[in-house]
Structure 1
């Protein structure tokens, strides 16, 4: 399924610089829109269902608790200036 966005060529050229932190908000919005349209619950195996009764969180003593690792998220978009998405 394709996500269609009506973006001016100047906007597409600006957000194509994905290493520019000032583009983070626009890129996040595009990613969220794409996820709403393209991702479905059946794309994930049952182990991702944190609402099921099988899901339990193991408890550790506070003495051995470590800081959680930060998730390494990435977003790959192919944007062509002058095209309507």
Structure 2
């Protein structure tokens, strides 16, 4: 997606140059993290609203819905 690899040019900024190799950056990581948060929060909100509307929401069921939303977040969060 928004991945960019910078390679230092030889002789350019030699006094401040990084060690030989490559440095990588992912410009879209924060957007993907926000999307993962949004999806899991939306799922949690919908599950709680539907369960409250049916009148069957208990503390244990709410805890299970939170665990499901956290699991979705862990699956969707992009690696750094």
> Is this a same-fold pair by TM over 0.5?
no
Answer with 1 or 2: which has the greater Rg.
2
Higher helix content, 1 or 2: 2
Higher strand content, 1 or 2: 2
Which structure is higher in RCO with an 8 Å CA cutoff and minimum separation 6? 1
